[in-house]
Structure 1
Amino acid sequence: MHSCNMIHGDLKAINVLVSSDGVAKISDFDFSIMKGASILVFSESSNSRSGSARWSAPEILLAETPIRTTQADIYALGMTMLEIFAERVPYPECQREFTIAKKVEKGTLPDRPRQLQDNKRGNIMWQLLLGCWNREPSHRPSSGQVVNALVSRICNL
């Protein structure tokens, strides 16, 4: 998707479907944009989607005029992977989006789930997730780097 200059803008587990042969398919492209077509700045009504704060990067959640980027998608991908491993949404203790925004503003990351065991594979995966959630968008891995880490570093253990 990113290699085609497309940004999803609302990545979370509910928007990932799995085919009968086990291939993940991303769905719900309501918020996707084509990078390079033009610079798009979203209004509050078009940029907010109720229920998506748990997956939103700080620069999306906290900005006056958020701009969707591949780096924000990577942050959401990290939260989506956490959601899949933990079998619950990020920040499950938070009932309101305001509470989530305050945690994100303070830099409070989700707790490491017990499903990511304290072993080589679990530690590598946790470090990958932490990289996806880096506060500085330019320090997050690219989608290609995430795939490479999953295939070469984790699957081959």
Structure 2
Amino acid sequence: MSFPVPGISKETTHCPDWSSRLHPVDQFPYALGEHSDLFRARGTHETKPRPKLFAIKCLRAGSSSNPNFNSELQKKLVLQGDALAKLTHENICTIRGIVYNTSRFPGIVMDFYEGGSIVNRMKEHSYTNDEKLSWVKQIASGMRYLHRMRPPVVHGDLRGSNIFLNAGGKIVIADVGMVYITDTPEFTMMQSAATARWTAPELMDPKVPRQSTSIEGPDCTTQSDVFAFAMTIVQIFSEALPFRHVNNDTTCIFLILRGQRPELPQYVQGQRSLSSLVGECWVREPSKRPSMTDICWRLGMSASS
């Protein structure tokens, strides 16, 4: 059975089917993610000299013995796409729609960011600590917006590779909630342990019970997002992975579970308020971590910034 699956909703008012609106630019993926391929596309009838580019994030999964996999995946994509397309914040990536004709699996349409993630940006350009601190504040602002939604929107995979700079130099957080779509054997079997460096201990400790048996997908929370935020601060100011001197990603799981944390970058060490904040964000007990609203306040941000 191919996509779109007959009899299953393939779009919503907020997240329409863009299959006929876009023409792919790339024959092969422009970039590869852990469970997706990224293609660039432009409007089908675009005639401008420099047409606006869009990014199509096409899911990539292994084989499945589940006869309902395609229909379940389409339902998830449409529901998640509809929820995310309603988000409006300058630091949160805008979801435009869904496409069904670019790859084997459906794709999510979003804006394309020419320079790539902040990880790529830092490899190619030099940024001051003041600029990096501005990034941190913008990330905090976007995450505060998500967590203030009712119900709160959990990112689930906050890290440098999912954070971009737009043409105006503003931070844009992408891949919000994608973990809830890809948390199936067809996708998790293809994922690496690389994300463990940002993952809160309660999500990796088999002795910690799930907070709610009714939740589908990983038991990510706003508190686990806060933990990942702290690790992202380390990544930004060190321009390296958390636990930069540990080559094995899996080893980081055991380090985090034993209570070890990465060494703070020199700049963060020199800012007492920032180093204290990071330390509170990655404490083992989730309930003792500050909220994103508290974090913004402690970073000197106003209620509207």
Cα gap change, 1:32 to 1:81, in 2 (>3 Å): farther
CA deviations over 1:5-54 (Å, ceiling 9, x no partner): 11011000111112233322110131158xxxxxxxx6677678421000
Q: Secondary structure at the match of 1:17?
A: strand
Gaps in structure 1 of 5+ consecutive residues: 34-41, 153-157
Aligned pairs for 1:111-126 (under 5 A) are 111-118=263-270, 122-126=271-275
Between 57-66 and 140-149, the greater mean CA deviation after superposition: 57-66
Q: Secondary structure at the match of 1:28?
A: coil
CA distance in 2, matches of 1:19, 1:67: 31
Identical positions, percent: 32
Q: Do the aligned residues in 1 keep the contact of 2:235 with 2:242 (CA within 8 Å)? A: yes
Q: Secondary structure at the match of 1:25?
A: strand
TM-superposed deviation, 1:91 = 0.6
CA distance in 2, matches of 1:43, 1:63: 18
CA deviations over 1:48-82 (Å, ceiling 9, x no partner): 84210000000112236661110000000110111
| 1:14 match | 161
Q: Does 1:85 align with 2:232?
A: no
Between 18-27 and 70-79, the greater mean CA deviation after superposition: 18-27
Q: Select 1:26's aligned residue among 173, 198, 202.
A: 173
Q: Does 1:52 align with 2:195?
A: yes
Aligned pairs for 1:130-149 (under 5 A) are 130-149=279-298
CA distance in 2, matches of 1:115, 1:61: 29
CA distance in 2, matches of 1:87, 1:134: 22
| 1:106 match | 258
CA distance in 1, matches of 2:185, 2:288: 26
Richer in strand (by share):
2
Letter in 2 for 1:15: N
Cα gap change, 1:44 to 1:102, in 2 (>3 Å): farther
Gaps in structure 2 of 5+ consecutive residues: 1-145, 211-217
| 1:2 match | 147
TM-score calculated relative to the size of structure 1: 0.79
Between 43-52 and 74-83, the greater mean CA deviation after superposition: 43-52
Letter in 2 for 1:146: I
Q: If you compute each CA radius of gyration, which structure gives the higher value, 1 or 2?
A: 2
Cα gap change, 1:151 to 1:12, in 2 (>3 Å): same
Aligned residues: 142
Q: CA RMSD in A?
A: 2.4
CA distance in 1, matches of 2:198, 2:255: 12
Letter in 1 for 2:199: S
CA distance in 2, matches of 1:138, 1:75: 11
Richer in helix (by share):
1
**Relative contact order higher in (CA < 8 Å, ≥ 6 apart):** 1
Cα gap change, 1:150 to 1:46, in 2 (>3 Å): farther
